[in-house]
Chains A and B, each alone.
Chain A
Amino acid sequence: MNDILSRRKLKAEIFRIIATISTWSSIIILIILLGNIAWDGLSKVNWTFLNNFPSRFPHKAGIKAAIWGSIWMLALVAIIAVPIGVSAAIYLEEYAKKNKLSRFIEINIANLAGVPSIIYGILGLTIFVRFFQLDRSLLAGSLTMSLLILPVIIMAAREAIKAVPKSIRLGAFAVGATRWQTIQSHVLPAATPGIFTGVILAMSRAIGETAPLIMIGALTYVAFVPENINDPFTTLPIQIYNWVSRPQVEFHHLAAAGIIVLLVVLLTMNAAAILIRNRSLKKYKW
């Protein structure tokens, strides 16, 4: 009798240990991953690297064009995707009646979020690059990327708007505000931190995406800083892919250095998102 009980307890204990090890292994993986990249690339990250254009000589190659390309693309994506995404979220949360059409739009957005990014690349290639003849320009890339992150922005913004309590809206209605006045003066200010967090996370998705941009033909030799939206461009992940896919090990070190730059940018963005989230949690308490 006691034998069975102790065996059951042993089983439970073993399971607990296995679960613990599994969980902590993701931390170990993260440490190995970051360590491996730092080991390969840290010595290459210096001013020359940040301030040089790509080159076929590894010691001269740099990442300037990619940094500026990423900044341009991020700015354009923000200008294009944020207004559309937030508007769509406001419409779905505040205006749309709960009917078949709004349900369809909702399901559609959820499914778009699960479409592989390379399919957006095919879409961008056919519509923006070929049909609208934007060629391999910053604008074509940014439009493609905007479509890709739009579902993410919409879903995050909806959550933020939904979290604003109904009483706030009723208070505004009670003093005679119209629907839009209510949204503008009460709902949006309260939802802004949440929307902002979602937007930053969507942007960090955009800055790391590679496949759709490769599809629209952004993997070319770009040795200049783009000056307007019709210029060809390269971005950090594309430049990294370019270096990774070369056989020489010197270029792999450059790729690792590029990854360090990319990860620093990403972590900064994520830290900002977390900071905004925590501050707004303190500020608004319903």
Chain B
Amino acid sequence: MFRQINLKEKGIEIFLSLSAFVSILTTMGIITILFAESFQFFKNVSPVEFFFGTQWEPLLVPKSFGILPLLSGTLIIVAGSALISIPFGVLTAIYLSQFASEKTRNIIKPVLEILAGIPTVVYGFFALSFITPILRSILPFTEVFNAASASIVVGIMILPMVASLCDDALRSVPRSLKEGGYALGSTDFEVIKGVLIPSSFSGIMASFILALSRAFGETMAVTIAAGATPKLTINPLESIQTMTSYIVQVSLGDTPQGGIEYQTIFAVGIVLFGVTLLMNIFANWVMNRYREVYE
């Protein structure tokens, strides 16, 4: 009887461990597919042209495969969303952890959770139907599809992430440090600037990197609002194209499987995957490497 039980126990353990391996299979699947298909792509297009070319026109003749326009488009979105999410996110976190009463926290926290949970396609609609018209009435030369409008909604989208991660970081600073600051006669602002932020700096930086990696890979809002014009520009009022929205554009069209147009999505995908992965790893590294450990 004990043997039977042992057998059952072992069987269950094996089944459970297989489930845990699904996640490893997923990672392996992603990496294998991206590498295999990109390899085919780089047989036809030189990596130099891909990484340094300033023209991205894979669907038109003559074809050109320089990823820089897509990269610049993505970076405009990342930079623009950082301008919104970082100041507002940090200030919200400071307010929540230092000034807000329990009652206020109980209002703000769910609001942030709702903002974080709204699907990205909804943000795309909001950008197109609300923010773009406002931008166009202030700056009439703004194009219908433009990077600025998309960056603003992506910024709103990742604001809750910055706020909640910074809030955690600020709350992990021990009360005694803060009170030491007040005991020296510092004002609220001086304690925040001189004690709280320096002692939770690694967590705050990590929150920025994680949030911006989200912005880097954000798809639907930029597909809807930022346009489909790969362009090497820094003007946020023009129509651009990001790496993600290019991938969507190809998958909406009728590009035959196996052709070079089809392979481009994997080449762009591997850059997207690589950059976001590096950002996530870097964020964790910053968090662990520079974390102040308090008793």
Q: Which residues of A contact B (CB under 8 A)?
A: 8-9, 11-12, 15-16, 18-20, 22-23, 25-27, 29-30, 32-33, 36-37, 40, 83-85, 87-88, 90-92, 95-96, 104-105, 108-112, 114-123, 125-127, 130, 147, 150-151, 154, 178-180, 201, 204-205, 207-211, 214-215, 217, 219, 237, 240-241, 244-245, 252, 255-256, 259, 262-263, 266-267, 270
Of B39-47, B75-83, B182-190, B231-239, the one touching chain A: B182-190
A36 touches B114 (CB 8 A): no
Residue of B nearest to A259 (CB): B122
How far is B217's CA from A191's CA once the two chains are assembled, in angstroms? 33
Shortest CB–CB separation between residue B130 and chain A, in angstroms? 5
B277 touches A115 (CB 8 A): yes
Q: Which residue of B lies closest to A129 (CB)?
A: B257
**Majority secondary structure, B binding face:** helix
Q: Which listed residue, A30, A210, A215, A256, touches B114 by the CB 8 Å rule?
A: A30
Q: Is the interface of A mostly helix, strand, loop or mixed?
A: helix
Q: Which residues of B contact A204 (CB under 8 A)?
A: 117
The A-B contact count (CB < 8 A) is: 244
Known contacts A96-B20, A127-B29, A244-B224: A255-B125 contact under CB 8 Å: yes
Chain B residue nearest in CB terms to A40: B129
When chains A and B are docked, how far (Å) is the Cα of A90 from the Cα of B17? 9
* B124: interface (CB < 8 Å): yes
Q: Are B210 and A27 in contact (CB under 8 A)?
A: no
Residues of B within 8 A of A126 (CB): 33, 37
Closest-CB distance, A79 to chain B (whole angstroms) = 14
A residues in contact with B56, CB < 8 Å: none
Contacts of B115 in A (CB 8 A): 26, 29-30
Identify which of B5, B33, B95, B219 contacts A23 (C-beta below 8 A). B95
A111 and B121 in contact, given A22-B91, A95-B16 (Cβ under 8 angstroms): no
Name the A residues within 8 Å of B220 (CB-CB).
210-211, 237, 241
Report A-chain residues with C-beta under 8 Å of the C-beta of B9.
178-180
The answer to whether A262 and B119 touch across the interface, beta carbons within 8 angstroms, is: yes
B177 contacts the other chain (CB 8 A): no
Contact status A240-B33, CB under 8 Å: no
Q: How far is the CB of A171 from chain B (nearest CB, A)?
A: 19
In the complex, chain B residues whose CB is within 8 Å of the CB of A37: 122, 125-126
| Residues in chain B near residue A123, CB distance under 8 A | 26, 29-30, 33
B residues near A (Cβ < 8 Å) are: 5, 8-9, 12-13, 15-17, 19-24, 26-27, 29-30, 33-34, 37, 87-88, 91-92, 94-96, 99-100, 107-108, 111-115, 117-122, 124-126, 128-130, 156, 159-160, 163, 187-190, 192, 210, 213-214, 216-220, 223-224, 244, 247-248, 251-252, 257, 265-266, 269, 272-273, 276-277, 280-281, 284
Shortest CB distance A117–B (Å)? 7
CA distance A11 to B159 in the complex (A): 25
* Complex: A36 Cα to B26 Cα, angstroms: 39
Q: Which of B26, B112, B190, B281 has the most CB of A within 10 A?
A: B26
Query: Would A12 and B92 count as touching, CB distance under 8 A?
Result: no
Q: How far is the CB of B134 from chain A (nearest CB, A)?
A: 11
Cα A212 to Cα B9 in complex, Å, equals 38
A residues less than 8 Å from B189 (CB atoms): 8, 11-12, 15-16
Report A74 CB to chain B, min CB distance, Å.
14
User: Known: A26-B88, A88-B23. Contact between A266 and B217, CB under 8 A?
Assistant: no
Contacts of B107 in A (CB 8 A): 27
Residues on the A chain within 8 Å of B129, using CB: 36, 40, 252, 256
Q: In the assembly, what is the distance between CA of A150 and CA of B248, in Å?
A: 23
**Most B-side CB within 10 Å, residue of A84, A122, A237:** A122
Question: Do A122 and B265 touch across chains, with their CB atoms under 8 A apart?
Answer: yes
Contact, CB under 8 Å: A244 / B125: yes
What are 9 of the A-B contact pairs (CB < 8 Å)? A23-B100, A26-B92, A27-B111, A119-B217, A122-B34, A209-B119, A211-B248, A215-B247, A237-B121
Question: What's the minimum C-beta distance from B254 to chain A, rounded to whole angstroms?
Answer: 10
- Interfacial chain B residues near A32, Cβ < 8 Å: 130
CA gap between A253 and B273 in the complex, in Å: 35
CB contacts (< 8 Å) of B30 on chain A: these are: 115, 119-120, 122-123
Q: Which residue of A lies closest to B100 (CB)?
A: A23
A259 to B252, CA, bound (A): 22
Assuming the contacts A92-B20, A150-B23, A245-B224, asked whether A117 and B111 have C-beta atoms less than 8 A apart, the reply is no
User: Chain B's nearest CB lies how many Å from the CB of A1?
Assistant: 13
Please report the C-alpha to C-alpha distance between residue A99 and residue B222 in the assembled complex, in whole angstroms: 42
Minimum C-beta distance from B85 to chain A (A): 11
Which of B88, B189, B223 has the most CB atoms of chain A within a 10 A radius of its CB? B189
Find out whether the CB atom of B108 lies under 8 angstroms from the CB atom of A116: no
Flag if B280 contacts A30 (CB, 8 Å): no
Give the contacting residue for B213; candidates A8, A92, A114; CB below 8 A.
Answer: A114
Q: Is the CB of A91 within 8 A of B19?
A: yes
Q: Which residues of A contact B5 (CB under 8 A)?
A: 178
Please give, as numbers and ranges, the residues of chain B lying within 8 Å of A263 by CB-CB distance.
Answer: 118, 122
